[in-house]
Amino acid sequence: MTEPFRMAYEDSADRVPLLLIHGFPLNNTLWDLQVGDLCDIARIITPDLRGHGLSEPAEPPYAIGDLADDCIRLLDDLGIDGPVVIGGLSMGGYVAFEICRKYPERVMGLILAATKAGADSDEAKKARDAAMETAKSEGVEPIADGMLPKLLVPGAQENAPEMAAFVKRMMMETSVEGVIGALGAMRDRPDSTPDLPTLAVPTLVIHGADDQLIPRAEAEAMAEALPEATLAIAGDAGHLPCLEQPEFFNDTVREFLEGFYE
């Protein structure tokens, strides 16, 4: 028998749980640079949404509520039944808003990256329908080729070919079912603008200065309407600031997460 003693230990389960939800049509490798850098301050969970990455290609149609339910089911399965920080990039942000509506008790904070609160315009809905037809008849590649130049800061395909190739690969790993399902879910998602003033949790709004898909004015308006938001604009970044400016992104997220330990 040894004498009783006080044993020091660390358990990552003690850290703030952070669920990071990727955008369309990407997967959880989008967050590789966050998982590596921020694992000392957060317990990071990065799902592949249904039909994306290594998750099974569930049959469409998908609703944004299905994607929210999937994320909460994952947390349940992991035994994380308390509130977490929900981070979502673009479509992941749409899912985060839905989690706030359906499961407010599971949200202790929000990171809204390269996303917006508004629903699709009629024109955007028509573009989703056309893209769904394209994916059905020609597969994922034309969708990926059409999106790639808009995802990164202008000129990135020439100046950062490895990053562009990585993003293209991520998109090509998405199943046709995933592409069609996610397009329909985004088309039919509700307007989250009226919810913004009610989202009374610490929120980080983070956006690329040169986002070609969602203009930074959307992030500014969102931050203005949210009761507890901090706005961070990443210079020289497009729609994927976590990948394009990982140091800025991670430092900003770290500072935000430190607030949960005070």
Closest separation between CB of residue 91 and ligand MLT, Å?
Answer: 3
Residue 51 as a binder of ligand MLT (CB under 6 A): the answer is no
- Restricted to residues 152-211, the positions that interact with ligand MLT (CB under 6 A) are 186
Burial of 33 (C-beta count, 10 Å sphere; 0-12/13-18/19+): middle
Burial of 97 (C-beta count, 10 Å sphere; 0-12/13-18/19+): buried
- Our CB check for ligand MLT shows the closer of 185 and 226 to be 185
User: In 146-236, where do the E strands start and end?
Assistant: 203-208, 229-234
Residue 42 as a binder of ligand MLT (CB under 6 A): the answer is no
Residue 23 as a binder of ligand MLT (CB under 6 A): the answer is yes
Closest separation between CB of residue 42 and ligand MLT, Å?
Answer: 22
- What region, left, alpha or beta, does residue 51 occupy, with left being phi > 0 and alpha being psi -120 to 50 degrees? left
Host H or E run for residue 12: none
Cβ atoms of residues 118 and 218 within 8 Å: yes
Tell me the residue type at 221: A
- Our CB check for ligand MLT shows the closer of 41 and 96 to be 96
CA dihedral for 148, 150, 152, 157, sign (positive or negative): positive
Residue 213 as a binder of ligand MLT (CB under 6 A): the answer is yes
- Our CB check for ligand MLT shows the closer of 218 and 248 to be 218
- Show the binding pattern over residues 80-119: x = contacts ligand MLT (CB under 6 A), - = does not: ----------xx----------------------------
Total residues at interface with ligand MLT (CB under 6 A): 7
Contact positions vs ligand MLT (CB under 6 A): 23-24, 90-91, 186, 213, 239
